[in-house]
Every structure is written in structure tokens, then in C-alpha cells.
Amino acid sequence: MEESPHTRFSLLARIVEISNATIQVENRLKHICDFLSRETRSDCVCIYQREVRGEDLAPWVSSCVEIEECTLMDFVVRPGEGVSGKAARKRAPVFFPDVKTNPPAFAVPRELRDFTSILSVPVMDDVYLYGVMNFSTLAPASYTEEDLTFLGSVATEVAGTIRNSRLYNDARKRVSELITLNEIGRAISSTFDVMGTLGYVAKTTLRLLSADACTVRLAVEGRGVLKVALDEGYSRPGFRRELRSVGKELARRIHEEKRPLLINGPEDSPLHSSLAGRGVASFLGLPIVSQGQSLGTISYYSASPRLRFDMEGAHLMQTVCSQLANMIENASILRKAQRLAQENQVKVQRISTLHDVARSLMSTVKMERLLSIMLYALISPGGLNFSRAILFLTSENGNELCARMAMGPRDRQEARRIGRFPRGLLGDGANGAAGEEIRNLLWSDVGNLTIPLFDASCLVAMAVKEKRSVRTESGCGAREGVGDAAPRGGFCGGHPASFAAVPLLVKGEARGAIYVDNLFQGRTIGDEDIQVLTMFASNASLAMENASLYESLESALDTVRTTQDRLVQSEKLMALGEMAARIAHEIKNPLTAIGGFARRIASPRAGGGAHSPERYAQIILKEVQRLERIVNETLYFSREMVPAFRIVNLNVEIREVLSMFREELEEARISSMVDLSPDLPSISADPDQIRQVVWNLVSNAIQAVGGSGILTVATHLSDPAEGIGVVLEVSDTGGGIPHDVVHNIFNPFFTTKAKGTGLGLPIVHAIVEKHGGTIHLDNREGAGVAFSIFLPLLPKGVGTGDRILEQMRKSRVDGNGIKTHSG
Amino acid sequence: MKVLVASSEIVPFAKTGGLADVAGALPKALRRIGVEADCVLPLYRCVDRDRFPFAGPGQAILVPLGNREEEGSVEETDAGGGVRAFLVRNDRYFDREFLYGTRDGDYVDNSERFTFFCRAVMEWIARSGRRYDIIHCNDWQTALLPVYVKTLYADREPFRGMGTVFTVHNLGYQGLFWNHDLPMMGLGWELFTPRGLEFYGKINLMKAGMLFADVLSTVSDTYSREIQTPEYGYGLEGVLYERREDLYGIVNGIDDEEWHPATDRWIAANYSADDLSGKAACRRDLISVFGLPKGDEPVLGLIGRLTAQKGFDLVERIGEWLAGQPLRMVFLGAGERKYEEAMEALGRKYPDRIAIRVAYDNALAHKIEAGSDMYLMPSRYEPCGLNQIYSLKYGTVPIVRETGGLADTVTDADENPATGTGFTFRRHEAEELKGAVTRALAAYADRPRWDAIVRRGMALDFSWEASARAYVDLYGKALRKRAPK
């Protein structure tokens, strides 16, 4: 070099100009090399770039004028190696003037293979070495101090150019990362689709980090193991397979330690050699941590020795990972919530299904229909939704299970049709066209389907014997067509591998079993199905028990009705007989009297008769009147008891009746106390019926007393609280009515008497009721009974109240309560 | 149909290569055949604002660029022939001395500059409410437009149903950029795969255009097939092969005003196929300009960059042989130093047979096209090629290698005696070239046959209208692809 300072100044100006141009840095450096090779008469000017990590110098740009195939760009210079390595290490120019005439004592460096002389100038600013710049010549060269200063300035300018370019690229990369992070953040926060997001994040970060492969592992919930969620990259064949075990090992460590792991050399991890042996130059792994819990890991692999992950990348990815963790956590919460909601819905669905089923089971007590409803509930889509159901009942001797009824589609087509049945079908069992459809589903040929209960291999038999539900996914284990398959009527070979059986328990006794399968649905029968099925079975057992109880109840009821009919018939006959006896008894005395006096009149005894025939005639007349009354009374029973209301004085009627019992009372030595209120007003009543009431009560009392007792008959005004009217009281000392029969006394045909019709008190009851009155019974067991009968002044709702009131205003009641005027 | 031709350079606003000619001539030709066509390009410093005054104030636009927004505007002017030209303005990016880079290299921010341009075009269309049925994009600088139409703007009016046509002019420049520019471009990393925009770890914009445009074209049918092979595909043969159903070749038209022997103002005498007498005058003029001796031997012309692509390695190899043939040779062009030197040495060695002019000279180019008898174009590859078309128009019989546009425009006169317009050879070998030159010389000796070859070539239609019609067909295909099925 023989330039003047002025020339050097202009050279430097050009270099400054080039290095500040707005073109790519490689272009700029190339032009600087071109320019310098011309101006310094070097045959080759080249720049080696220091690797981002380490001290290696890699060829970058060169300008070779003379050499056709310059080898300077072919190799990487190790630290301290050769002329360039020395210059880099010393941070000072190293000059090798003439290798040809002054061969070195050591091996000729590679840089001098094609050249004679080389000057290596470090490209550095005050802090950092960016590389070296080499000036090589074919001929021996020499440089003055000024030359070296000048070239040092050039190298500093080049360093500045490289630094600026790096800063520029760093800034661009930063912006790129920022935008990408922002995008990732947006993507993560806008969805709960974990796998989709992981895929997007893996793809994006793979590019962002310029990694070659990426694997995301997620912790399996509830277990401490990691599972590969997705792989990205791995374009080299076999790469994934080679990395599987070491990758797993690293992921496990990251997962456990919950710390990122960066491996760029053996000093970072003993696993480095394992990675390097599989072509991995750099590894970065991060845990996805949420609330101190590692949810998974992301691992990045770089195969290129030029690209190593750094802490910056790790920090960047930590940001992404924490976002991911939140997202996974949120998604998991959402999933749990959804699952809970779903479970609840399923439960509600189940309960309402069971409720529907229970209701429909209760809709009938007829066994046949109940069984058909049961089976339909098992196979209906609105019910338990099995494919097919068979109901087995334990045989009489307890040795066999006999199929009672079976229901289900016979083929897929039919199964599909059932799937379309309306849900509400369940409740109204077997009505109309729907009922027809359901009846079609019944299997007509289950009669001979039996399972021996001693058959240990049959799971249905086992369900009954062990009184528990059984479920299988793999058949019952019995081989088809072997041994006792025949007695089962082909059942064993006919069911699918997946089926269930539940026993029907009544009072702890297995009465049968329900068999279900999902032949046409492919849905496996789960534990929850069994739960529902068991609940159903207990419901069904109850319903069946009900139905069978009802059946026996009905037959019992039939018997009762027949007996009752017969009883009524005989009661009637008995009543007739008693009536005849009473009539006979009643008319015997008058007839005797009539006969006697009539005979006296016909053949008067001489001297024997003090009375005249008139007297006898009067007696006969009286007796005839008595006969008439008896006949009338008897007729009363055959008449309908429609009261004919008139103004009646109760006291008068009572006295009349009592006079008829006078003889009887005397015979029985019953003393009677009659206490009739003189203030008693007249009432509106049917006098015949009122007399009937008194007659019946008195007659009852006499019979109750039997002998030597007291009969009390009294009347008084009613308590206003009871209503306006009169009260008749008949009491006796006949020991009262036994407690257990007292409620029956007003029932027809009930009687405690050997010869009673049992119609007495019912008639009393009927008459009092028709008069709008009430009966009060005061029964003192062991003492006696007192009937207290209230009769209103005017029976309610009965005919011509106004007219009766008018009559009552006109009538006048005398002091003795005896009617003085009747209309 | 409304068409917007987007290009990084358009004649008469800015030009570095043949792309500007195509992008300038096509919209005008489309207008002439009744298609409404506009064009859009960046507003470079070189755009002559006095010659092309802006119509009113430009429309301001905000262009998203990564995480920021860049301001810009779109100016409107008249490109002539009824074509409106829209110029995307951002002085930070485009107010520079050069279009793509200095002599020393590409601008360091080219990816950002042309991302801005494409995004600005999208924003401007969206904002201005202009409805274009087709955007016709050219080379990597406008390759993001089809990507944007299909991705970022896919759901926005008026881009729904908009067809995109992407024309590859020069596969040698693919717009390769750092992968970290992807967010700046507004695209997601999911596109950065070997099946997507990735090309050996970098973003390849040419590939992006090829992947996302509805219809692809290149400048000749043969070239469109050649680029599906590794030999011509520059690594993109796979993508092109996959899209072969949508890949078409349309030869460029030529500028009839600039290049027509009947009206050419640069040549000694005008002539036509009916009267070729003017061509003899041109030949005399050419010989005298290049200082060659007068004579009857045919003149072989050659214009072009001195590169191996143009086949100068072959020319160099048979230089001695050519000097020994009954012909004279004129050469115009510049390029690689070693070819320049080799040609100059040849000229010095045979001054009365071979004349060399190392320069670019438009007037001289016209004189060579008009005054030569034969024209040599032994290109290694030639997407379209214009000089062979000029030669045909000027009655100068081309001797070409059967590649790209050369194969599509020149028919061998020996193989097709009835339709032949020149002489062609297949393999890129010296002997093959020698054979073609020998056959041409033999034909030249047969005057009636030679005249027939000359007239057939002059009768061919290489007008831009013909090309424009072919492009309209292509636009129709693109629209049909976009129409909802």
C-alpha cells in the first residue's frame, strides 16, 4: 500500500459511504471487500463472522479477484487457530508476510494454502469482537504503520456496520416476536379449544424460535404421567422416534421441577450427549404451570448447530406458557362445569324417567297390562331405552326361571322405528294405534324359554340366586349349543355379549328377574344403567306385588258379595217370619177376646153373665179396632215411607203407643216413667211414622230390659242450639249396647236379638232423617241406653211450610199438652 | 369487467426491465379492446410529476404494518390511452434514487416497502370503494395482493369474489425474505410451512403469489411448461407443477408505435412486407454505422445482455467458426466482463467481419433489427423475449434456441416449410447452434424461399391487442374460479 493520507481519506470516505448505504449488510460488506481488494491490491479480502455463541469464526463475505476457486470461504476457524484465530484471540492485527520464503516453524495455516501473505485485522468496537477481516495476497506483502491504522479504522467501521445491522435485525425480530406474542395471546384468550390452540401455539412458536421440532405433553388428569398431546415439525424422517425416550425423560424432569430447561452443551445437562447423539444441538423445554401445578410441558429441539435457544427465547416462551396454562385451566374448569351440568341433566332425566315409569306402573293393577307396561318402559326411548327385555318369573317349584313376557324389536329396522316412537307413549301404555305398535313388539314365543336355576353358568339365574344385579360385556361364558343349552330354549345363544339381569325382589324373596340387552344400539350397559335398572326392578316388584294382591283382593271381594246377597235373602225371610209371628201374636189376643165375647153373645150362659150383650159388643168392637191397628202397622212395612205431614202433638202420639204396650210392660214387670212436657208445641210430622218411631224405640227398650227394669219416656223442648223443635227421649236400663257393635245399630239387618229383624232402628233412623231431625245415642255399657230424638218444628225442605205455619197459628195447645183442635 | 394492473414498475412512470413495458402496454391494450383497466404502482422519485400531474389531492390511507400503522396516500394521474394510474405514496419508502436498490445491492427494507405497497393497495381499494373484478399482479413485489385477497381481506367488500391473476416475468427474483418479516406482513405463522410461504427457512413472496392467485401466467406457453421442471424452476417447479392446471402462457405483445418498420423513425428507410426495398437501405446504413465493408454476405445481428443466460457462452465458443462463415456480424450490448472482453477480442481479430458495440443504444438497436438479415438469439432460457419478435416484424430471420418464448414465436423453416419463420435448435450446444446458422445460410442462398420466410414472419400478429385478448380469457377463468359454486 502506498497511499497518501489524502487518498486514505477518500478511501475511508467511500467505505463510510458504503457502510451507511440502505442496502443489505451482506451487500455492503461485499462491496467494502470488493473496494478494498482493488484499492489495497489484495488478491482476496474476506470477512469471517464470529458465531453468535462461542468464538468460532465462520466465513461470511469475500471478494476474490485473482483466485478462481478461493478456499477461504470453505472452513470455520476455531478460536486461536491459524492467523484469523490468533487475531481474534489477541484482539489485534496479525500479519504473516511471506509463507513461501519464510515458512513458519509450525504447520501452515489453512488461510495460506492459496496465498503467500495474509493480514488479519479484528473487526471490533470497544467492547465486542464481530469477526476478522483478512487481506491475502499471492505475492509477499508489507504494511506500514499508517496502513495498519487505516485498515484498523476500516475494520472498526465494518464493526459498526455489523453492529447496526444486528441492532436493526434485533429490533425487527423483537417486533416480530411482539406481534406474534400478541397474536398468540389473542388466540389463547379467544377459545377454549385446548388442542386447537396448542396446535396453533406449537406451530407459531416453532417458527418464532426457528426450532426444528416441538412436542407438547399434557399431564393426564389424576395421574402423574405426561402424555404427548401433539408434535410439530420433525420433518426429518425418524427424528421423532429417535427423540422419544430422551424427550420423555427431559419432559418428566421439567414437569417435576416446574422450571424451564435450556440445554446447549454438556455443562447444561448430562443428557446433552444423548441429545447431541440424536442430532439435537439445542433444547428448550418449559413447564406449563398454573397455580403451582404443572399441567404439561413444551419441548423445542434445534438440529442446527447455528441455532441455539437462549434465555430470551425461554422468557418469551414462559409468557406464552403461562397464558397457555390459564387457558388449559379455564378450559378444564369449563369442561368440569359442563360435565357437572350434563351429569345433573342426566340425573334429572333418569329421575324423571323413573318417575314416569313408576307412574305408568301405577296406572294399572291388571297383571298382564302391568307386565306389558314394564317391558315397554324398559325398551322405550322415553324410558330406560334398552334394546330388548325379557321378564322371567320363578316357577312354582322354585327350580326354574320361566320367561313370562318379552319385548323388543326383532331387527334393526324395527329398532329404528321404536327410536322414533313418541316419548309420551310410556304413560298411556297400551291404548290405540300406539298400543298396537307396542303389542307388536311382544314376543309371542317366550312360553318355552326357561332357565334352570341350578345352572351356575347362567348369569340370569345367578342374579336370582344371589339376589343382585349382574352385568357383562363378554357374554355369560357358556358355550353355545353345549350341555343344557337346549332347556334354555336357545336363550343362551341368542343374547349378545353385553347384557344385564336384575332380580325382582319381593320382601327379600327373588320372584324372578329382568333381562335386558342393547343388541341394536351398540351402547354398552353402564353402572348407571344398572342403578336405574335396579331402582326400576324394585318399583316393578312392588307394582307386581300390588297387582297380585289386588287380584286376590278382588276374588275375596267377590266371595263377600255372594255371601252378602245370600245373607240379605235369608234376613228378608227371617223378617217375614218374625212379622208373621208378631202379627199372629198381636192378633191372637184380640181374636181370642173377640171370639170369647162373640160366643157369649151367641150362647149366653145362664146366670153366668152380669154384663149385657152391648157390653160384649163394645169389647169386641174395641178388639176389632185393635186388630185394624195391627194390620195397619204391618202394612206400614210394605209401604214406602213417604211422610204425610200434619200438625202433630208428640205427647199424644206417645201416650197412644204406650197404651199399646201396657200389657206387655206389666207382664215383663217393667216400670215405666213417663215425663211428657206440657209446654211441648205441636210439630209438623207424619203421625203414623212418629208413632212407628216411638213404637220401635219402646219395643227395643222392652226387649233390651228383658225383665224388671225401668223404661223412661220423656219429651221436652229442644235446646235452641240444636234448632227449634221438640225432643223425645227413650231410655232403658237394659245394659246398653256392646261397644263393638254400637256403630252398627242403625244398619239394616243388624240385630243382637235372636228373633229380631234388625229393621227397627234403621226405620227409626230413616224416619227421623225424613223429618229433618237427628238421633243422639247415649250408650252406657253395662247400664243402659238412651235415645234422644230431635224433631224440628218444621221439617226442612219439606213442602208447604207456609200453610203449616198458618195452621199452627190457628191451633191452640191446652195446658196438658193435649191437642184440643185438629184441622 | 374492471381490471387493476398492479406492478412495481410501469412505463412511462418507472422502468428497470421488461416488466415495466408489459405493465404499461397491457392496460392500454385492454382499454382498446373495451376492458376498463387501471394500473397502480409506487410513487418513486423518478416519476415525472410535471409530465403526469396529479388529479387533485391524493387519498390519504392508513396502512397496518405489523404492530403499527404507516401513513400513505394514493395519487391519481393519467397514464395515457384512457388508463388511470394510481401511485402509492410514502416518501420514506419510495422517494429514493432507485426502485429496488443501489448499484451495490437491494435496499435492506424491500420486504417492508413492498408489503406496504400491497397493503396500501388493499386499503385504498377498500376505502375508495372502487370495484375491480380482477387484480392482475406481477412478480414478487405485488405477490402479497393475492395472499391478502384470500386471507386478511377475504371477508371484506369488495374483495369477495375478486379474481387474482399472477404473472411471473422473472423467476430469477423471487423476493426471498427473513421469516421474521411474516408478522410485519400481517400473516400468521400457520402460512409459514413448506407447503405455504416458506422456502428453505425464508419467506418466498413469488411462491406466495403462485399459491394464492386464482390463475397464474407467464410470458410464453413453452416457458410455462419449462418452469415446472427443476432445470428452469428455480426451486419453485414443485409449486408450479401443482398449479399446472391454472398456469397459462401468454406471449407479450410489442409496442407497434415504437417497433414497426413502416413507421420507425430510427431507421434509414421505412418498409413493409409488400415493399422490402427499404430494408436494403437499412442494411447499407447499418454496415456503414458499424464500419464493416460493403458486400452481399448476410448480416447477422445480435443485441442483448452479455450473460450466459442469453447464450453468450455458446457465441463465445463458436466465435472463430462464425468468423469463417459467409456472413458479417454486428453486436450490441453489455454485461459480464469476460464476455465483453471475449467479444471485443473477436471484433479486434476480425474487424471486417465482426463489429462489436459494448453499450445500450436504442437507436442502434432499431438499426440492427432493420438492417440485419438474420438475428441470433441462442438463449439458455428466455421467458418471452422481444428481440426475436422485433426481428420477425422487421423481416430479419431469427435463429433461436427452442426455449420459452423463442419456441413459441419462431417456427423452424426446415421442419415446417409452409409455415417456418426462422431457424431453431434444441440443445444448448455449440454444434447445434452451428447447424442452425448453417441451415439459415443455406436458405439465404435460395432467395425466393428466404423472401417467403421473411414475409411470413412479418405477417404475424404480435400486437398487444392479441395478448390483451388472451389475458381477458384468463381474467374470465379467474372469475369463474371465484364464482360461488
Domain ranges of chain B: 2-253+465-482, 277-460
CATH number at residue A429: 3.30.450.40
List all residues of chain A from 209 to 268 with a beta carbon under 8 Å from chain B. 210, 235
CB A575 within 8 A of CB A393: no
pLDDT grade for B377, boundaries at 50, 70 and 90: very high
Question: What pLDDT score does A378 carry?
Answer: 84
CA B475-B479-B480 angle, to 5 degrees, is: 115
The size of chain A, in residues, is 823
B419/A contact by beta carbon, under 8 A: no
From A600, A646, A634, select the one nearest A795 (Cα to Cα). A646
Please give the DSSP secondary-structure letter assigned to residue A116.
S
In a shared domain, residues A229 and A150: no
Reduce the DSSP state of residue B131 to 3 states and report it.
Answer: coil
- Segment (H or E) for A808: helix A801-810
Which chain A residues are closer than 8 Å to B182 by Cβ?
A: 176, 207
A773 and A706 share one domain? yes
| Gap from A43 CA to chain B (nearest CA, Å) | 18
Cα A636 from Cα A640, distance rounded (Å): 8
Q: Which range marks the domain in which residue A40 is found?
A: 5-172
Per-residue cell: B11: 412505463
Distance from CA of A205 to the nearest CA of B (A): 8
Question: For the residues of B417-441, what is the DSSP string, one character each?
Answer: TTT--BEEE-SS-HHHHHHHHHHHH
Q: B108 — contact with chain A (CB < 8 Å)?
A: yes
**How close does chain A come to B68, measured CA to CA in Å?**
10
Bond preceding residue A270 cis, omega within 30 of 0: no
- Position A205 in a domain: yes
- A767 and A700 in one domain? yes
Interchain CB distance below 8 Å, B67 and A204:
no
Residue at which a domain ends, from A106, A140, A172: A172
Angle formed at CA B186 by CA B181 and CA B192, multiple of 5 degrees: 60
Cβ–Cβ gap A21/B190 under 8 Å: no
pLDDT at position A800 is 45
Asked whether the beta carbons of B377 and B404 are under 8 A apart, the reply is no
Query: Is A203 in the B-facing interface, judged by CB distances under 8 Å?
Result: yes
Q: pLDDT at position A797, please?
A: 54
Whether the CB of A22 is below 8 Å from some CB of chain B: the reply is yes
Q: What is the CATH number of domain B2-253+465-482?
A: 3.40.50.2000
Determine the pLDDT at residue A636: 57
Query: Is there a domain that residue A346 lies in?
Result: no
Judge whether A24 is closer than 8 Å to chain B, CB to CB.
yes
Asked if residue B247 lies in contact with residue B240, where contact means CB atoms within 8 angstroms, the answer is: yes
Considering only the beta carbons, identify the residue of A21, A200, A204 that sits closest to B102: A21
Other C-beta atoms lying within 10 Å of the C-beta of residue B97: 9
What are the start-end ranges of the H helices in A109-193?
145-189
> Does A215 share its domain with A162?
no
Give whole-number Cα distances, B80 to A437, B27, B59, B472, in Å. Answer: 84, 10, 21, 20
The runs of H, that is alpha helices, within B290-373 are 312-317, 319-323, 337-349, 362-371
Query: What pLDDT is stored for residue A592 in this prediction?
Result: 82
Last residue within a domain, chosen from A525, A557, A576:
A525
Asked whether this chain's domains B2-253+465-482 and B277-460 adopt the same fold, the reply is yes
In a domain, A549, yes or no: no
Residue of B nearest to A29 (CA): B104
A89: cell is 484471540
pLDDT digits (tens, 9 = 90+) for B387-406: 999 999 999 999 999 999 99
Residue window 20-39, chain B: list those with CB within 8 Å of chain A.
none
A245 and A116, same structural domain? no
Q: A31 — contact with chain B (CB < 8 Å)? A: yes
Q: Is residue A99 part of a domain?
A: yes
Q: Tell me if A491 is assigned to some domain.
A: yes
Asked which of A504, A525, A546 is the last residue of a domain, the reply is A525
Answer whether B133's CB lies under 8 Å from B1's CB: yes
Q: Please list the residues that pair with A289 across neighbouring strands.
A: A294
Cα–Cα distance measured from residue A402 to residue B2, given in angstroms and rounded to the nearest whole number: 85
| Higher per-residue confidence, A55 vs B176 | B176
Kindly tell me if the per-residue pLDDT of B213 is higher than 80: yes
Chain B residues lying within 8 Å of A27, measured CB to CB? 101, 104-106
The three-point CA angle A299-A300-A302 to 5° equals 150
Which DSSP symbol is given to A813?
Answer: B
Q: How many residues does chain B have?
A: 485
Query: A-chain residues within 8 Å CB-CB of B180?
Result: 169, 172-173, 176-177
A682 contact partners, CB below 8 Å, separation of at least 6:
A647, A648, A649, A808, A811, A813, A819
Which residues, 6 or more positions from B277, have their beta carbon under 8 angstroms from its beta carbon? B269, B271
Tell me, yes or no, whether A36 and A121 share the same domain: yes
Tell which A residues from 621 to 660 touch B, by Cβ distance under 8 Å: none
How many angstroms separate the CA of residue A65 from the nearest CA in chain B? Answer: 13
Residue written as cell 326411548? A381
Q: Do B183 and A168 make contact, defined as CB atoms within 8 angstroms?
A: no
Half-sphere exposure of B67 (CA within 13 A, CB side): 13
Check residue A185 and give its pLDDT: 86
Same structural domain for residues A305 and A386? no
CB contact (8 A) between residue A23 and residue B107: yes
**Closest partner CB to A23 (pick from B104, B179, B184):** B104
pLDDT digits (tens, 9 = 90+) for B27-58: 999 999 999 999 999 999 999 999 999 988 88
Which residues from chain A sit within 8 angstroms of residue B192, using beta carbons?
Answer: 207
Cα–Cα distance for residue pair A132/B222, rounded to 1 Å = 49
In terms of domains, do A666 and A700 share one?
A: yes
Does any CB of chain A come closer than 8 Å to the CB of residue B295? no
Mutate to test the interface with A, among B189, B195, B202 (most CBs of A within 10 A): B189
Rounded CA separation A35/A9 (Å)? 14
The reply to whether B230 touches chain A by the CB within 8 Å rule is no
The residues facing B3 across adjacent strands are B37, B134
Q: Please check whether residue A735 lies inside any domain of the structure.
A: yes
Return the pLDDT at A424: 56
Beta-carbon separation of A172 and B106 below 8 A: no
Q: Are A282 and A307 in contact (CB under 8 A)?
A: yes
Neighboring chain A residues of B188 at a CB cutoff of 8 Å: 183, 204
Name the more confident of B485 and B389: B389
Collect all residues of chain B within an 8 Å Cβ-Cβ radius of residue A18: 104
Distance from the Cα of B391 to chain A's closest Cα (Å) equals 38
Q: Determine the Cα–Cα distance for residues B263 and B250; give it in Å rounded to an integer.
A: 26
Same domain? For A309 and A398 the reply is no
Asked if residue B158 has a cis previous peptide bond (ω within 30° of 0), the answer is yes
Contact A758, A750 (CB under 8 A): yes
Q: Name the residue in chain B with its Cα closest to that of A203.
A: B190
Q: Do residues A258 and A407 both lie within one domain?
A: no
User: From the list B102, B180, B189, which residue is nearest A173 (CB)?
Assistant: B180
Instruction: Give the nearest chain A residue to B92 (CA atoms).
Output: A22
Strands B59-65 and B36-42: unpaired
Q: What CA–CA distance (Å, rounded) separates A509 from A423?
A: 33
Report how far residue A737's alpha carbon sits from residue A778's, in angstroms, rounded to the nearest whole number: 10
How many H helices and E strands in chain A? 19, 23
Instruction: Test B184 with A175 for CB contact under 8 angstroms.
Output: yes
Q: How far is A128 from chain B (nearest CA, A)?
A: 24
Among B96, B189, B194, the residue with its CB nearest the CB of A180 is: B189
Architecture category of domain B277-460 in CATH? 3-Layer(aba) Sandwich (3.40)
Q: Is B337 on the interface with A (CB under 8 A)?
A: no
- The rounded distance, in Å, linking the Cα atoms of B8 and B143 is 10
Q: What are phi and psi of A361, to 5 degrees?
A: -65, -30
Determine, for residues B189 and A204 on separate chains, whether the beta-carbon distance falls below 8 Å.
yes
Contact at CB, B189 and A176, closer than 8 angstroms: no
Same domain, A211 and A105: no
Predicted local distance difference test score (pLDDT) of residue A422 = 64
Query: Nearest residue of A to residue B93 by CA position?
Result: A22
Domain assignment present for residue A594? The answer is no
Do A18 and B184 count as a contact with CB atoms less than 8 A apart?
no
**C-beta separation of B375 from B399 below 8 A:** yes
CB contact under 8 A, B190 and A235: no
Of A23, A177, A203, the CB nearest to B101: A23
Mutate to test the interface with A, among B104, B192, B338 (most CBs of A within 10 A): B104
Searching chain A, which residue's CA lies closest to the CA of residue B106? A23
Retrieve residue A748's grid coordinates: 239394616
Residues A372, A439 contacting (CB under 8 angstroms): yes
Report if residue A183 sits inside a domain: no
CA distance B353 to chain A (A): 33
- For residues B84 and B78, the answer to whether their CB atoms sit within 8 Å is yes
Residues of chain A with pLDDT under 50: 425, 427-430, 479-489, 749, 754-757, 798-823
Which tens digits make up the pLDDT trace of B234-271?
A: 999 999 999 999 999 999 998 888 899 999 999 999 99
Identify the helix (H) or strand (E) that includes residue B474.
helix B464-482
CB–CB contact A176 B66 (8 Å): yes
Can you read off the three cell numbers belonging to residue A275?
441429545
Query: At B209, which amino acid appears?
Result: G
Query: What is the C-alpha R_g of chain A?
Result: 61
Q: What is the mean pLDDT of residues B346-352?
A: 92
Contact B331, B357 (CB under 8 A): yes
**Residue pairs spanning A and B at CB distance below 8 A:** 76
A145 and A220 housed in the same domain = no
Of A176, A206, A235, the CB nearest to B183: A176
- Looking at the structure of chain A, the number of domains it has is 4
- Chain A CB contacts of B201 under 8 Å are 210
How many whole angstroms separate alpha carbon B340 and alpha carbon A246? 60
